[in-house]
Amino acid sequence: NTAFRYHWLVWQLTGIIQPRYFPTYWYRLYAVLVNILVTLLFPLTFVINVFFSKNLQQLCENLIITLSDITANLKFLNVFLVRKELQRIKIIFEYLDKRLNTEEEYRQLKRAIRTAQLSFCIFWAISTTGTSLSVLMVLYSEDRSLLFPAWYGLDWQNNDLAYAVCFTYQLVALVVQAIQNVANDSYPPAYLIILTSHMRSLELRVRSVGLSPADNKQNMFLNEREQQLDLKKFNDCIEDFIQINRLYDMIQKILSKACLAQFICTALVQCVAGLHILYLLDESGDYGAQILSLIFFLAVTMEVFIICYFGHYMSAQSLALIDAFYECGWISQTLAFRRNLIITLMRTQRYAIIYAGAYIPVDLSTFLLLMKYAYSTFTLLLRFK
């Protein structure tokens, strides 16, 4: 659970998970206030601004920002809806952590924890850089402008007080949303990383059943006591396998809608950004807007790649775990052992894979398919240009 320490801190700060020693009434008031002012009203200013677009260039710029922000808020809402499952996952992690019994298992789990925490830090650095660049663009802009084009119903271009209010609100809301997005984007791969690590630990335990510790080969002549010890060890592995399947089902539930929203957002942003870059670059000469569109394009593409990469890696580890049951030392075991093995093998015929919206597999093949669609769209736009 230490792999998700930063995520839980963000969810506490943004009003999703109440801290243990914080008064309930004041925390609920704080959560409602933050989420009304930021999660609800902030993207609403982008949505309204879309309808005030004066030309195709402004429409593309507003759509890119609006689609990205709405998707981020939908993923944040999904975390709120599955917060009880997140608590149950913590309990299963605690159980699986106690099952580690070799130095290699501890070592690879610690490596997975570092990777999960590193992914959070990378998204934090990207978000901080993006927010800082937005502020710098406003500071060095010749004309008075906001961090992002939005509608506030105030004449902030000609009124100093109105501009100060709009800019301060947008800056505070942007910082809060940036913090939300860091957790939104990094918790799906983090859960897949730790799930994959526990699958690997179970694979190591299953493969060692019935093998001689000295030469790591099957012991063809076991006495009754050794057979009973192997049976108990194998039954413990079956219990671990059941818990990992429960963990997989919960992670599937919390990631399904979030991944589907990300896939849809990526496809739409890629199309709009392609239209913006290919058609409007020569006409407008606003290279700052073009760079912003390119940044959004790369950001949504990278988000999909990361989740697809770790989803693919988890599925590959699931197949390796299935192979481990076939390759354990079962030949010289008792009838009860072999009966339990057959039942387990029947269950392992369905390997683990995360689906977005229960239909789209979250793996590298889906990412390649998404890139092919993006390339086809760009090719079509170039022919019409």
Average pLDDT, the chain: 85
Q: Which residues pair with 361 in a beta bridge?
A: 355
Q: What is the pLDDT of residue 281?
A: 56
Give the other-Cβ count within 10 Å of 248's Cβ: 20
Contact in structure between 344 and 221 (CB atoms under 8 Å)? no
Which tokens hold the place of 32?
């409602």
Q: What is the pLDDT of residue 22?
A: 83
Mean pLDDT by 10 residues, the chain (385 residues): 91 87 88 91 89 78 83 89 91 91 90 92 83 80 81 85 89 89 90 93 87 62 79 91 92 89 82 70 58 75 88 92 86 87 85 85 89 78 65
Integer angstrom CA distances of residue 11 from 67, 90, 183, 229: 22, 15, 8, 44
Which tokens hold the place of 373?
């669609």
Write the DSSP assignment of 212-252 as a string of letters: -TTT-SB-S---HHHHHHHHHHHHHHHHHHHHHHHHHHHHH
Integer angstrom CA distances of residue 245 from 192, 249, 252, 338, 344: 13, 6, 10, 21, 12
Which tokens hold the place of 329?
């030392």
Q: Which helix (H) or strand (E) holds 327?
A: helix 287-327
Rounded (5°) CA angle 70-71-76: 95
Contact in structure between 162 and 172 (CB atoms under 8 Å)? no
Position 281, amino acid: L
Q: What residue has token string 């073009």?
A: 290
Q: What is the pLDDT of residue 88?
A: 92
Closest CA to 35 of 82, 88, 91, 76: 76
Contact in structure between 170 and 37 (CB atoms under 8 Å)? no
Exposed / middle / buried, residue 112 (Cβ in 10 Å: 0-12, 13-18, 19+): buried
Q: What is the pLDDT of residue 330?
A: 81
Query: SS3 for 355?
Result: strand
Q: Which residues pair with 218 in a beta bridge?
A: 211
Closest CA to 251 of 213, 195, 197, 299: 195
pLDDT per residue as tens digits for the range 96-131: 999 988 888 899 999 999 999 998 988 888 888 878
Closest CA to 332 of 221, 216, 235: 221
pLDDT per residue as tens digits for the range 227-284: 888 889 899 999 999 999 999 999 999 988 888 888 888 888 777 777 776 665 555 5
